[in-house]
Structure 1
Amino acid sequence: MRVPRATYRVQLNRSFTFSDAMRIVPYLASLGVSDLYASPYLEARPGSTHGYDITDHNALNPEIGTHGHHERLIDALHKHDMGHLLDIVPNHMGVGQDNWRWLDVLENGPASPYAHFFDIDWQPVNRGELRGKVLLPVLGDHYGRVLERGELEVVFDAGEGSFAVRYYEHRFPLDPGTYPMIFEGMEEPAGDGRTLEFESVITAFSNLPGREETDPERIAERVRDAAVNKGRLARLCEESLEVARAVEGCVERINGERAKPESFDALHRLLEEQAYRLVYWRVASDEINYRRFFSINDLAGIRVEDGRVFDETHRLILRLVGEGKVDGLRIDHIDGLYDPAGYLRRLQEEAARVRGEEDDLYVVVEKILAPHEHLPEGWPVAGTTGYDFLNQVEGLFIDPAGERPLGRVYRRFLGREEDFEELLVGCRRMIMQSSLASELNVLARRLLAISSYGRRSYDFTINVLREALAGIVAHFPVYRTYVDAAGPSGEDRRYVEWAVSQAKKRSTAADTTVYDFIRDVLLLEVEGPEEYRGMVLGFVMKFQQYTGPVMAKGMEDTALYRYNRLVSLNEVGGEPGRFGVSVSAFHHLNAGRRRRWPHAMLATATHDTKRGEDVRARISVLSEIPDEWRGHLFRWSRTNRSRRREVEGRPAPDRNDEYLLYQTLLGTWPNHEMDEGELEEYAGRIRRYLQKAMREAQVHTSWVNVNEEYERAALDFASALLDPENTLFLEDFIPFARRVSRLGALNGLSRTLLKLTSPGVPDVYQGTELWDLSLVDPDNRRPVDYARRREMLARLQDLPSGEVHTLLSDGRWEEGAPKLYLTWRALELRRERPALFEGGEYIPVEAEGEMAGHLVAFARTCAGDAALTIAPRLCAHLERFPGSILPDPEVWEGSRLPLPPELSGRTWGDVLSGRVFEGGAFSLRELFSSFPAALLVSE
């Protein structure tokens, strides 16, 4: 398997195209990157900024470039000996006017050649009137009101001979078999002898095979005859003015008159006969009958487990792999798939076929692992995309001694106790009651059918089953299990039994045997005829597709915006209730990754992280200085209390939102003094972030029910904090923010070094080779100034090693030069000694002396070659040189780093400072005399 040495993630869209990516290839090669790692670039909705709303898997996104542009990008990569890693989306598609397959399904229903393509429940057991239909929650008001206001209107495309219903920018095709309903009561066109042919066309539409057809030949006949008759109608309208006027009159009549509700009866009957039902968007959470990406109505799940769908959606991707234009794949949302393991096996088999090689393709999966969870070892992948590493390495810079005092500060500021685990369970329940209620109802109905097979479960009602299911999902300890026909693994069994036991323990039901029944079903411990066991397995597979979205929406999109004790912990894949990672635990996790997944990706920032990596690095500093934080926090709150308003008798913003805002300002405050325009731009970023955070939290406002008054008060408060006239606050805030930013810079340098040298493949998210002070998307997808980075790198590459300390002085470190320098030097070492980092042994090294707890060190060794990573941590109490972020080397006096016997007696060169060291133990004072981290390599 070709394994990337280091990847660099870019977000491609119409503002950053294939051509733009091609222009930065020389810079990336000079930085030491081996692979360009791109966001999805298959055809997506116009204006897509992320590429996850794909509408055609077999075309490139024209906004990003043509095949020619793509070829030139790949040629540039190959010219610089670089590879290409592509993010792909097998779980879902963007649906709407831009997806012709989806439109075909709306037109033909179950008889569409693409009915199998989307994960649609054509026979919902809870809504008989939806059988053979797709629920489309697109209306801005209740259906009847929208209809009688004339907002739904039939339109005729004379060029195609087809009819559709228009609703503002939406167009929904009409079933050709229902076209005759439009012509009911029509006066015959006269004058040119076309009447008989026109009537023949109408009759032909009436005789089309129906939407209920399942025979492939009859479906093909329907498609063929519909196309022929549309063509006949279009030709008639073109050749006969009378026919065209007759059609126009029919359309005008069926569209009704606003002042006459009864005039819309015919249009209502026509819409009732379609393969879809148009409804108010607010009913989606209760009634929708197609699987979505989380709760996003216009991202529909596809059935990639169907071989036809797999082939159709992977044709272009596999061609690019076979042509050597794509060297690896990142699989988005692997937990959304019906059978992740089966999908990955097929992907590798097809990749081997098109490449003509037996070795696996480099594949990583976007999989969120709980701290106690392991990636299934049978999966044919290199590992995850790195959220597990992100939270492990970030934990090193959180002082566990700060947990209790920060908890006290948070409780006192809020005026209440906040338990994260209980909050999380509540958030999951809320999600199941609101945005994902329909999916839970469907599962409960399936389970009811299963329960009716057995005498002991016969009496369970739909309400009892739904409540028990909700309790189990709310307590699920992982995103999902992977039970299949072979049965559960040991880990799957433990997760199911834990969730069931927790839900059963907290249940208030009089009869809790329902939980035992569900446990047996989820673990396939049932007996019965083959049909029954098939129902059980089908239920379990669908249940597993449900727990992931509930976890993601409940945790990432809700709980992480509500629990703000220390928000650097509030990250994808993180657990805010777990305070820090010890050095020994970090070594254990690194060593385990080297054994099991040596080529997994190592990330510290992604397009989906909640905060930029250096924002987290700053906020983590508060764990070291809780008393300082408490003093400033309460002083700021008193200073700014007059800027709060009351909304519905309560302060706005509330204490929790205010607490989040102060941490956000500390994490993002620019390193340089801002002019008026920069301050306004920064204030706008903060307001946009705060608005998103409040809506995600769903406490006072939400995306569905916007509380404009509360939002306005909170956003005005944020603006008031940043008003230059607010001197009492800013004069206290800015010096503290400067102190935190200096300490955060030290955290950032150490974390970057650890990422670039730990077992795995390090990934650099676009632009984060300098300080990353961005917030959640879309803030972290702003344009990157590559001209500046290119110029800075060129200067650094000419810098004499003896002058590296100058990068740490005030006026230089603020621009990010130390981070860029460290990134370049570490990546260069990986380029020079690839075997050392790709497969080298991992040896923890422990320091001695008073400062031993402030250090993380390990060695990588391979065939006599060796490198030493030495990174400080928890630096808040280390004195720094005036005018520099470099800690005074005197603080390290008396502490040293003894080497293991197999590494002593060598000569070592520090690739960061250029200094040379010898012996069996190193003085930390000497190691950190000119740069606050060290990367030694044996000479």
Structure 2
Amino acid sequence: LRRRVDSLSPQRHLPIFVEKILGEGETLREDWQVDGTTGYEFMNQLSLLQHHPDGFAPLAELWTRHSERPSAFIEEARLARQQILNGSLGGDFESVAQALLQVARDDVMTRDLTLGAIRRALQELIVHFPVYRTYISARGRNDADDQVFQHAMDGARTTLGEGDWPVLDHLEKSLGGQPWRNRPVGRERKILKHACVRFQQLTSPAAAKAVEDTAFYRSAVLLSRNDVGFSTEQFSAPLADFHAVNQQRLQTFPDNLLATATHDHKRGEDTRARLAVLSECAPWFVEQVEHWRALAAPLRTDTAPSAGDELILYQVLLGSWPLDQGTEFDGYQQRLWQWQQKALREAKLQSSWSAPNEAYEQGVEAFLSRLLLSEEGHALRTAIGNAAQAIAPAGALNGLAQSLLRMTVPGVPDLYQGDEFWDFSLVDPDNRRPVDFSARQQALATPPDIGELLFNWRDGRIKQALIAQVLALRKAQPDLFRSGTYTPLEVVGKHAERVVAFSREHQGKHLLVVVPRWPHHLLENGVHPQINAQVWGDTRVKLPFAATTQNWKGLFHTGAVTPDKELLVSAALGDFPVNVFINPDDQES
């Protein structure tokens, strides 16, 4: 494709992006000569940054105690893969097994292998496969694919009896371990190639159907860590990891797309940003859930909803709860039921698309309706609404940080339709509803006033104003954003661990970005997503370059700071929740 595109347009580089989900530790192949992926992995990297590691243990205990499901996502994913391979992909699985049986019969050393043994080994190999697929060629597997295969082999050996290990060794050789070009031209080579191709056509849908379309709806330690392209077995990651992937992207795929919302996401970017706050206040959330379950007792039937489905619903309500407290809940209830029915069927525990359990679904729908619309659900509805409002400012600040980071780290920011305002959508088709572009256009035409934007932060215009400001900076300084170096900055002082800071430099121009993370406890029951400057105390960013004595103006030019060798966070974030600075001599007047 690259050769053909370049021949058609030799004077201009036309970018090619691959919509590919990268597994943990997997990188995009550089020999493809593409410009990058569509950015699912960035969603994951940014999400890991915004989740506090201390939240996992209490949230996992809550989930396991009530749902009686595994707290380790990888266990849930493996169970789902087994179900998918024996169910909806059963025919495809059998085709691969039969192909491998034909390969075995062509070798005197393996012709006694039975179809049953090949099925057992093949299933465990796919169940433990850590990525969506490999790329076996006539030369066999490359080094990266070989590491993937060995990982799957090691996992399969832990769940297979030793009697099946020789069968695994046969699969390892047949699926790229021995290049098919080494076989004589003719039937034997054709059969081996066919087995490799069919195997790779099976592992991708097995991963998609088991993880995205099953396990994501079964496991809910924290739903903000369940989304397409996420390494859901991870709950959080150190700040150093975020800096490292940004530096790596700049070196290998500087034009890689950066997405935080897509047509395929399970929850909107600001829904996830709000739910991430629960990782900061997990003990509080555990108390809330226990209280809600008591209030919900009169709303349940004997069988619906299950404890797991009830806990999942509470998280979805918290994440998507409207910021407008005067909202009529009829439309909201319809959206939630559309999500709920899909979630129940995708999970394949109480219901499914192939065999809908109408009685159970009706019971869950009745519970949801009573919760949101009836007088008997008023106490529970009020309690959930109060909890949503309590974490909403921190969630909004996470959302603003998410937007700024997407537009300033190496890569090309991809803004999903309508996400200039808050995005509290759920899974499709909810995230594909019509966008009110006229409202966004009208808001964009109004000159931004920070005080007014902060006061009315719930309407989303503050997010749009941030995006507009930073896109204007990108337009004015394209080389700085595309080619500028990326340098993580050390933060010291009282709340150093709650600040992300980095600089970018190109031909003497400097870009400086400062955003908070884990902001919930810093907002101190705040009514908007602005941390009081005094809260930061002595927290400061160390600068690796000699800052000029001139004032550096940040977003909206409402205030200015004069950095020397250090920049006080209280000054950098004194007027606006997040900030970015560029050398004063290089800014547009």
Aligned-pair CA distance for 1:498: 1.5
Distance in 1, matches of 2:253 and 2:545, equals: 28
State the TM-score, normalizing by the size of structure 2.
Answer: 0.95
Aligned partner letter, 2:185: E
> What is the aligned partner in structure 1 of residue 279 from structure 2?
623
Distance in 2, matches of 1:903 and 1:581, equals: 31
Residues 583 and 906 of structure 1, relative CA distance in 2, 3 Å threshold: farther
Higher strand share: 1
Aligned-pair CA distance for 1:737: 0.9
Distance in 2, matches of 1:435 and 1:478, equals: 20
Contact 1:360/1:380 (<8 A) preserved:
no
> What is the aligned partner in structure 2 of residue 599 from structure 1?
255
2:224 is the counterpart of 1:580: no
Residues 781 and 466 of structure 1, relative CA distance in 2, 3 Å threshold: same
Distance in 1, matches of 2:71 and 2:384, equals: 27
Distance in 2, matches of 1:583 and 1:686, equals: 34
Query: If you compute each CA radius of gyration, which structure gives the higher value, 1 or 2?
Result: 1
What whole-Å deviation, never above 9, does each CA across 1:278-305 have from its counterpart, x for those lacking one? xxxxxxxxxxxxxxxxxxxxxxxxxxxx
Kindly report which structure 2 residues correspond to 1:564-575, keeping only aligned pairs within 5 A, or say none: 564-575=220-231
Partner SS for 1:396:
helix
Aligned partner letter, 1:525: Q
Contact 1:904/1:921 (<8 A) preserved:
no
> What is the aligned partner in structure 2 of residue 929 from structure 1?
574
The answer to which of 665-674 and 528-537 deviates more is 528-537
Residues 446 and 425 of structure 1, relative CA distance in 2, 3 Å threshold: same
Contact 1:524/1:536 (<8 A) preserved:
no
Aligned-pair CA distance for 1:926: 1.5
Aligned-pair CA distance for 1:533: 3.1
Distance in 2, matches of 1:765 and 1:875, equals: 25
> What is the aligned partner in structure 2 of residue 353 from structure 1?
7
Distance in 2, matches of 1:608 and 1:878, equals: 33
Aligned partner letter, 1:780: N
Partner SS for 2:491:
coil
Kindly report which structure 2 residues correspond to 1:412-561, keeping only aligned pairs within 5 A, or say none: 412-415=65-68, 417-508=70-161, 510-525=163-178, 528-531=183-186, 532-561=188-217
Aligned-pair CA distance for 1:491: 1.0
> What is the aligned partner in structure 2 of residue 806 from structure 1?
452
> What is the aligned partner in structure 1 of residue 484 from structure 2?
840
Distance in 2, matches of 1:449 and 1:794, equals: 67
Contact 1:913/1:934 (<8 A) preserved:
no
> What is the aligned partner in structure 1 of residue 311 from structure 2?
659
1:756 to 407, 413, 426: 407
Distance in 2, matches of 1:711 and 1:862, equals: 58
Distance in 2, matches of 1:360 and 1:401, equals: 46
Aligned partner letter, 1:636: W
> What is the aligned partner in structure 1 of residue 54 from structure 2?
401
- Aligned sequence identity (%): 36
Higher helix share: 2
What whole-Å deviation, never above 9, does each CA across 1:446-480 have from its counterpart, x for those lacking one? 11111111111111122221221111111101001
> What is the aligned partner in structure 1 of residue 587 from structure 2?
none
Residues 431 and 881 of structure 1, relative CA distance in 2, 3 Å threshold: closer
Distance in 1, matches of 2:290 and 2:150, equals: 45
Contact 2:546/2:565 (<8 A) preserved:
no
Contact 1:524/1:537 (<8 A) preserved:
no
Distance in 1, matches of 2:146 and 2:29, equals: 13
2:344 is the counterpart of 1:691: no
Aligned-pair CA distance for 1:880: 4.8
Distance in 2, matches of 1:641 and 1:744, equals: 29
Contact 2:69/2:219 (<8 A) preserved:
no
Kindly report which structure 2 residues correspond to 1:7-26, keeping only aligned pairs within 5 A, or say none: none
Distance in 2, matches of 1:438 and 1:395, equals: 37
Partner SS for 1:901:
coil
Residues 540 and 415 of structure 1, relative CA distance in 2, 3 Å threshold: closer
Aligned partner letter, 1:764: L
Contact 2:56/2:279 (<8 A) preserved:
yes
Contact 2:269/2:423 (<8 A) preserved:
yes
Contact 2:82/2:123 (<8 A) preserved:
yes
Kindly report which structure 2 residues correspond to 1:108-507, keeping only aligned pairs within 5 A, or say none: 347-355=1-9, 357=10, 360-415=13-68, 417-507=70-160
Aligned-pair CA distance for 1:371: 2.3
> What is the aligned partner in structure 2 of residue 785 from structure 1?
436
Residues 457 and 936 of structure 1, relative CA distance in 2, 3 Å threshold: same
Distance in 2, matches of 1:474 and 1:559, equals: 13
Aligned CA-pair RMSD: 1.6
Contact 1:653/1:713 (<8 A) preserved:
yes
Aligned-pair CA distance for 1:528: 4.4
Distance in 2, matches of 1:368 and 1:362, equals: 19
Contact 1:881/1:888 (<8 A) preserved:
no
> What is the aligned partner in structure 1 of residue 388 from structure 2?
737
Residues 491 and 906 of structure 1, relative CA distance in 2, 3 Å threshold: farther
Distance in 1, matches of 2:221 and 2:139, equals: 43
Distance in 1, matches of 2:69 and 2:358, equals: 26
2:367 is the counterpart of 1:717: yes
Aligned-pair CA distance for 1:903: 4.8
2:326 is the counterpart of 1:674: yes
What whole-Å deviation, never above 9, does each CA across 1:182-226 have from its counterpart, x for those lacking one? xxxxxxxxxxxxxxxxxxxxxxxxxxxxxxxxxxxxxxxxxxxxx
Aligned-pair CA distance for 1:420: 1.8
Contact 1:368/1:387 (<8 A) preserved:
yes
> What is the aligned partner in structure 2 of residue 856 from structure 1?
500
Distance in 2, matches of 1:412 and 1:536, equals: 48
Partner SS for 2:30:
coil
Contact 1:808/1:884 (<8 A) preserved:
yes
Aligned-pair CA distance for 1:559: 0.5
Aligned partner letter, 2:297: R
Distance in 1, matches of 2:126 and 2:13, equals: 35
Residues 358 and 456 of structure 1, relative CA distance in 2, 3 Å threshold: farther
2:565 to 904, 920, 931: 920
Distance in 2, matches of 1:912 and 1:896, equals: 22
Distance in 1, matches of 2:12 and 2:193, equals: 33
Distance in 2, matches of 1:511 and 1:398, equals: 41
Residues 823 and 640 of structure 1, relative CA distance in 2, 3 Å threshold: same
